[in-house]
């Protein structure tokens, strides 16, 4: 499975890449902001996107809306330190399939990815 990582923090992209590669997935691109994520999504057509919420130029919520408008079947997992219920629900309303709270735990990320691709639907592990 090919994954695109979108996060403005280089260390977070590196950590998510490490976790995903340890799980056997291939990271085919990294974006530093929402606009890059949207552009790379169109170019690379990944199977999955991990998306931060707070990023410069275009935030993760707007990027999710844009990706979803281009591909309603896009698989997107939000990864953010912002864990308030209203933010989580806004991300889900905009098209995110799941939400993983930072600091990211490998087991929680793996659970979110596996449930998403097993077709078991939404799993909001922070509520």
pTM: 0.91
* Other residues' Cβ atoms within 10 Å of the Cβ of residue 10: 10
Q: What's the pLDDT tens digit per position in 85-115?
A: 788 889 899 999 999 999 999 999 999 999 9
CATH of the domain at 34: 3.40.50.2300
Q: What's the pLDDT tens digit per position in 56-70?
A: 999 999 999 999 999
In which domain, by residue range, is 102 found? 2-124
> How many domains, in total, are found in the chain?
1
């Amino acid at each position: 499975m090919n994954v695109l990582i979108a996060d403005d923090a280089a260390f977070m992209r590196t950590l998510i890449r490490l976790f995903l590669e340890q799980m056997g997935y291939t990271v085919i691109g990294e974006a530093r902001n929402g606009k890059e994520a949207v552009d790379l999504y169109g170019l690379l057509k990944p199977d999955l996107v991990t998306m931060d919420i707070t990023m410069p130029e275009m935030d993760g919520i707007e990027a999710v809306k844009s990706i979803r408008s281009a591909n309603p079947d896009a698989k997107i997992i939000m990864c953010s330190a912002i864990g308030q219920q209203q933010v989580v629900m806004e991300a889900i309303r905009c098209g995110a399939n799941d939400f993983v709270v930072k600091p990211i735990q490998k087991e929680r990320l793996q659970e979110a990815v596996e449930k998403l691709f097993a077709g078991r639907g939404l799993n909001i592990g922070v509520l």
